[in-house]
């Protein structure tokens, strides 16, 4: 199962005099992976909360498939969305990893056997089944985030939102979580919203929606975004390392390939060049 998300002309402000979102419109097709980027404070987490009905738009409409997210529909629609937040420690409940993962299922009249199966599947998906009897508070940050992801997956959502889920992790843990998300993308057909500054994660996205100055400043592929230097600066994003090196060579007059190189391709090209 998977779902389309649509924002139509959404305005939102916490205080009337300081608008956060103005006329924000975008569409995320079912099954697509979209990165939502923008400087700190640009309204990305606000969008995640609007999608899940934790906040209500001042103007405009938000749809999950054909159903509008409103005060009356939000609690039902929220069950179709899995959320993972930034801070690993904010998402710990329960005495064991398995209990933590089952938490979202407890109030849903899911039969015990189904619940156990879902917990098993979800923990397998993030490589944490072996840790099922461990105390979540004692895990590493990366492991906690994998358990948070398992807890989101256990309720079998149609949409998965990761809100800066890798930003507090070390490079190794970041990379592992990225690999897991990549696998989910290939194996599940979930609609995935990646709120991120992490370029490796951005690279997984099929489309990017960029927020700037309360509005959508860009929609398109990561490759097209990487060509817009000024916008990248405004969004507090850097070019991927391999692309930066490629540009520096070009600027120095070295003939470079005409497509963007990833790190592996860059190494191959440099090896040949030398
Ligand atoms: N609960 C709140 N009350 C008042 N202002 C808020 C609240 N949450 C966020 N803001 C403000 O709204 C703006 C957007 O915040 P947020 O959506 O968290 O941005 P992002 O996730 O892109 O960093 C920021 O200026 C932030 O300070
Ligand atoms: Mg945020």
pLDDT tens column, 72-90: 999 889 889 999 999 999 8
Please choose, from the candidates 133, 127, 75, 81, the residue with its C-alpha nearest in 3D space to the C-alpha of residue 102.
133
pLDDT digits (tens, 9 = 90+) for 176-187: 999 999 999 999
Q: List the chain domain ranges.
A: 5-229, 239-274
Residue bearing the CA closest to ligand 1, atom 17? 43
Ligand 2 center to 85 CA (angstroms):
9
Tokens of 208: 């990017």
Q: Binning pLDDT at 50, 70 and 90, where does residue 241 land?
A: confident
Q: Ligand 1 site: residues with CB under 6 angstroms?
A: 14, 20, 38, 40-46
Kindly give the distance from the C-alpha atom of residue 43 to the centroid of ligand 2, in angstroms, as a whole number.
7
What is the Cβ-side half-sphere exposure of residue 271, based on CA atoms within 13 angstroms? 6
Q: Which residue has the tokens 């990761």?
A: 162
Which token pair is 142?
Answer: 């990366």
Distance CA 241, CA 260 (A): 11
- What local confidence, expressed as pLDDT, does residue 274 receive? 86
Backbone angles phi, psi at 59, to 5 degrees: -145, 155
CATH of domain 5-229: 3.40.50.300
Residues 6+ positions from 60 with CB-CB distance below 8 Å: 7, 8, 9, 10, 11, 23, 24, 25
For ligand 1, pick from 11, 43, 214 the residue to mutate: most ligand atoms within 8 Å of CB: 43
């Amino acid at each position: 199962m998977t779902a389309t998300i649509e924002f139509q002309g959404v305005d939102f402000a916490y205080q009337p005099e300081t608008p956060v979102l103005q006329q924000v419109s975008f569409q995320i097709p079912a099954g697509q992976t979209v990165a939502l980027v923008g400087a700190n404070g640009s309204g990305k987490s606000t969008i995640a909360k609007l999608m899940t009905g934790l906040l209500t738009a001042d103007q405009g409409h938000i749809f999950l498939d054909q159903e509008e997210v409103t005060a009356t529909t939000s609690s039902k629609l929220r069950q179709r969305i899995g959320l993972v937040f930034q801070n690993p420690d904010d998402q710990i409940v329960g005495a064991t990893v398995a209990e933590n993962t089952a938490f979202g299922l407890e109030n849903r009249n899911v039969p015990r056997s189904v619940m156990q199966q879902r917990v098993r599947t979800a923990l397998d998906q993030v490589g944490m089944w072996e840790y099922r009897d461990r105390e979540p508070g004692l895990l590493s940050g990366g492991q906690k985030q994998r358990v948070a992801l398992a807890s989101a997956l256990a309720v079998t959502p149609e949409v998965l939102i990761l809100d800066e889920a890798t930003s507090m992790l070390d490079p190794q843990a970041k990379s592992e979580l990225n690999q897991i998300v990549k696998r989910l993308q290939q194996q599940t057909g979930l609609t995935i919203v990646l709120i991120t500054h992490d370029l490796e994660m951005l690279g997984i996205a099929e489309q990017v929606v960029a927020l700037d100055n309360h509005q959508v400043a860009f929609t398109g592929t990561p490759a097209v975004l990487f060509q817009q230097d000024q916008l990248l600066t405004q969004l507090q994003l850097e070019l991927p390392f391999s692309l930066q090196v490629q540009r520096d060579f070009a600027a120095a007059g070295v003939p470079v390939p005409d497509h963007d190189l990833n790190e592996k391709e860059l190494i191959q090209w440099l090896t040949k060049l030398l």
